[in-house]
Amino acid sequence: MKLSYVIVTANRCERLLATLEHLQRTTPLPRDQWEAWVVDNGSTDDTPDAVATQHPWAHLIVLPRNIGMAARNLAMQRANGDVITLLDDDSYPTGDAMCRIIDHFDQRPQTGAVVARVELPDGRCEASALPGVMIGCASSLRRSLINQIGGFDPAFFIQAEEYDLSFRIWATGFTVDRMDDVTFKHDKVLTGRSKVRTVFRDLRNNLLLTERFLPRELRAEYQRDWVQRYTAIARTNGHMSAAHRARLQAWWWARKEQLRGRQVLEPGVIETVFEHERQRLAVRRWAQENNINRIILADLGKNIFATWRACCDAELDICAIANQSPAFAGLAYRNIQLLPDELALSSKPDGIVISNVNPAQVGPRREQLAAQFDGPILSLYQPATTQPTITEPASTTEAA
């Protein structure tokens, strides 16, 4: 069998039924070449009965309680497809996306996972903050590799669990490939998910990633950055107590990771995921070609450390960081003030470096800045390429 869909759901019966109906109607494969697995994560509505009655063709696993995203593992262990595609109960592939993805796996034996472009109902896109990391609503996995390295770590429950699995895939020598020309839709139905729990898990789980995978010299740098990032978000939402609890639990996890033995990524994998050297070379070349001395950085991106260090190495004067998020208003990053775009641009920079490498955000952000600034802008992420394209701002729309 070629394909297995895996969907985890909880108390969203109508949305799930619509997604299953869509998959049955539009999957571009013979019916005996694909299947769907639904894991009901402790629903208290009639989800299991409704699936069994209206979509008896779907394999159903019913759990007595919510175990988070590790529930996917139960379906992945039983799936028959060579490719496992992870969906939310409100996401689905479009057009020939699945045929394209399956062909990609067939043609590239070292591909461990494929991440698709995700479109939201309002036309915006979403993606993980790092291009080499999966997103749970639109990622496909090579089943033979998952059998080898295992699935999602229950310790994360929810938030950042895709980072953990993506890092483990890269560590095996396989790749996580992004296909910007293959699209999934995500209807993004709002849920009653607790904001305080999300804040708590965001900070705790990201600190767990640093403890588990990063070498000592980078661990402290990314912990510093991510504590600032997620604490600012917690403060804006009035959840500072959750942030404090997250740091306490992360401290406990740090001790646990020391005892069990860290899974520190090899230097080549660190470079592939965080791109310190590639950014250093790209920034230096761009600055030399455009005679740049004074810059502003755009956005407090999750990987801003790589960009900040690249700019320091190129001996550029960083005047400010342009950031529109209210959560970061009034903050400074390594003694560089975060300012709204208008104030940052008033420093009269020679150029702008976009530190944000989130594939869904880079294009719109560049367009926003180009409307206010007619000098050189360097984007450190470009769709469908492993090298940055260094150009002057153009009038054409850049893919998200």
Q: Is the pLDDT reported for residue 397 higher than 50?
A: no
Q: Measured in whole angstroms, how far is the alpha carbon of residue 113 from the centre of its chain?
A: 13
**136 and 84 within one domain:** yes
What mean pLDDT value characterizes the chain?
A: 93
Q: Is the pLDDT reported for residue 189 higher than 90?
A: no
299 within a domain of the structure (yes/no): yes
Q: Is the pLDDT reported for residue 391 higher than 80?
A: no
**285 and 251 within one domain:** no
The CATH code of the domain that includes 19 is 3.90.550.10
Q: Looking at the chain, which runs of residues are DSSP E strands? A: 3-9, 34-41, 59-63, 83-87, 91-93, 111-119, 125-126, 139-142, 175-186, 294-298, 317-322, 332-333, 336-339, 351-354, 377-379
**371 and 232 within one domain:** no
Q: Is the pLDDT reported for residue 390 higher than 80?
A: no
If pLDDT is split at 50, 70 and 90, which confidence band does 393 have?
very low
If pLDDT is split at 50, 70 and 90, which confidence band does 14 have?
very high
Cα 81–Cα 96–Cα 133 angle in degrees, nearest 5: 65
Chosen domain end from 269, 302, 335: 269
Burial 149-171 (b: 16+ CB within 10 A, else e): eebbbeebbbbbbbbbbbbbbbb
Condensed to tens digits (0 to 9), the pLDDT of residues 339-389 reads 999 999 999 999 999 999 999 999 999 999 999 999 999 999 988 543 333
Condensed to tens digits (0 to 9), the pLDDT of residues 280-310 reads 999 999 999 999 999 999 999 999 999 999 9
**156 and 12 within one domain:** yes
Q: Pairing between strand 332-333 and 91-93?
A: unpaired
- C-beta neighbour count of 32 within 10 angstroms: 8
390 within a domain of the structure (yes/no): no
**254 and 353 within one domain:** no
Condensed to tens digits (0 to 9), the pLDDT of residues 34-69 reads 999 999 999 999 999 999 999 999 999 999 999 999
Condensed to tens digits (0 to 9), the pLDDT of residues 230-267 reads 999 999 989 999 999 999 999 888 888 888 888 999 99
75 within a domain of the structure (yes/no): yes
- In sequence order, the 6+-apart residues with CB closer than 8 A to the CB of 356 are 298, 299, 301, 362, 365, 381
Where is pLDDT greater, at 272 or 189? 272
Chosen domain end from 139, 157, 186: 186
The per-residue pLDDT for 384 is 57
Q: Is the pLDDT reported for residue 394 higher than 60?
A: no
159 within a domain of the structure (yes/no): yes
Q: Is the pLDDT reported for residue 314 higher than 80?
A: yes
40 within a domain of the structure (yes/no): yes
Condensed to tens digits (0 to 9), the pLDDT of residues 73-91 reads 999 999 999 999 999 999 9
**291 and 239 within one domain:** no
This prediction has a pTM of 0.93
109 within a domain of the structure (yes/no): yes
Q: How far apart are CA 336 and CA 357, in angstroms?
A: 20
Where is pLDDT greater, at 195 or 323? 323
399 within a domain of the structure (yes/no): no
The per-residue pLDDT for 46 is 92
**For residue 354, what are its two tokens?**
């976009």
Region 325-347: mean pLDDT is 96
**232 and 172 within one domain:** no
The per-residue pLDDT for 256 is 83
The per-residue pLDDT for 258 is 80
Give the range of the structural domain holding residue 366, as residue numbers without chain letter.
275-379
Q: Is residue 308 within a helix (H) or strand (E), and if so which, with residue range?
A: helix 304-313
Contact 239, 195 (CB under 8 A): yes
Q: Looking at 120-266, which runs of residues are DSSP E strands? A: 125-126, 139-142, 175-186
**264 and 279 within one domain:** no
The per-residue pLDDT for 364 is 96
387 within a domain of the structure (yes/no): no
Burial degree of 74 (CB within 10 A; 0-12, 13-18, 19+)? middle
The CATH code of the domain that includes 311 is 3.40.50.2300
Q: Is the pLDDT reported for residue 127 higher than 80?
A: yes
**121 and 88 within one domain:** yes
The percent of residues above 90 in pLDDT, for the chain, comes to: 90
Instruction: Count how many domains the chain has.
Output: 3
Contact 350, 291 (CB under 8 A): yes
**298 and 235 within one domain:** no
**52 and 129 within one domain:** yes
Q: Pairing between strand 317-322 and 336-339?
A: parallel
**155 and 80 within one domain:** yes
